Amino acid sequence: MATLILAGLATVTFMHAFGPRDGESIAHARADQAARALQQRLTPAGNDVDGATVAATRFTDATDGTGATVEPYSWRGATSDPDGARIDVRVRVSVQPQASRELFQPGVAAGSAQSCYRFHVHPTRVFYRPIDCPATFPTATPTGAPAPTPAASATAGTPSPSP
């Protein structure tokens, strides 16, 4: 009887240790990684830039190698507001199954994750927090003027030389 219990325990341990890794867990970790990468990329944002412009210009092509799709779905305020420009984003990640390529190396099971975050973008700092995803997502696309470059901002009040 003890032999059967030990054999069963060994089988479960072996399957857990060398079975496929959970694709759902990997996808959630990649979504969090994408949010952290976005936070790093968004700093600094500039003074008095509206939320639609930040969403349109700073959240495009924001995967940073994580395989995540980042979609802003709500934006309001400006970077000069006390709460900053607030941009809500959906981060979606899919993990494809991978078979084990070596003996005792676990494969990866398929999985996916969807997480939502609210970014508070200030002129010199950015922070975010996870939020509940809405039941339905708005279909609006952010539009805005391109963010001014530091050189353009510095010369904006300088009159042009006369010929």
pLDDT digits (tens, 9 = 90+) for 109-146: 889 999 999 999 999 899 999 999 999 988 777 876 65
Is residue 157 one of the residues assigned to a domain? no
Is residue 62 one of the residues assigned to a domain? yes
Q: Which H or E run includes 92?
A: strand 85-95
Is residue 61 one of the residues assigned to a domain? yes
pLDDT over 90 (residue 79):
yes
How many domains in the chain? Answer: 1
- Tell me whether the omega of the peptide bond preceding residue 44 falls within 30 degrees of 0, making it cis: yes
**What's the domain range around 57?**
19-98+105-134
Is residue 13 one of the residues assigned to a domain? no
Identity of the amino acid at 1: M
Is residue 3 one of the residues assigned to a domain? no
pLDDT digits (tens, 9 = 90+) for 63-78: 566 778 999 999 999 9
Is residue 147 one of the residues assigned to a domain? no
pTM over 0.85: no
Is residue 9 one of the residues assigned to a domain? no
Q: Is 131 helix (H, G, I), strand (E, B) or coil?
A: strand
